[in-house]
């Protein structure tokens, strides 16, 4: 499955910047921002202000991955509870 990198301009904390992400990550960000009732710029600003190191694109990818992993874990039954 090939997902080309898409470069988009976004305003973060009042400054315009470009972010390059695969389409799947852009879609994940849109879903998360919608669920949180935030704009995409607000969500990226939050991710940017909380990142410890690395570039913004990497921080966004990790945020989206962590978000959906946490949702998947919350939705799956606890195998220990079935014992």
Whether 76 has a pLDDT exceeding 90, the answer reads: no
Average pLDDT of the residues in 23-31: 96
- What is this structure's pTM? 0.84
The proportion of the chain whose per-residue pLDDT surpasses 70, expressed as a percent, equals 89
CATH class of 5-74: mainly alpha
Q: What's the pLDDT at 74?
A: 87
**Which of the pair, 83 or 26, is modelled with greater confidence?**
26
Please choose, from the candidates 13, 40, 38, the residue with its C-alpha nearest in 3D space to the C-alpha of residue 26.
Answer: 40
Average pLDDT of every residue of the chain: 90
* Alpha carbon distance 44, 15 (integer Å): 12
């Amino acid at each position: 499955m090939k997902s080309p990198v898409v470069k988009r301009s976004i305003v973060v904390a009042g400054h315009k910047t470009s972010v390059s992400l695969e389409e799947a990550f852009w879609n994940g960000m849109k879903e998360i921002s919608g669920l949180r009732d935030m704009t995409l710029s607000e969500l990226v600003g939050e991710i940017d202000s909380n990142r410890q190191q690395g570039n913004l694109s990497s921080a966004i990818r990790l945020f989206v991955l962590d978000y959906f992993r946490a949702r998947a874990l919350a939705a799956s039954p606890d195998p220990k509870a079935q014992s």
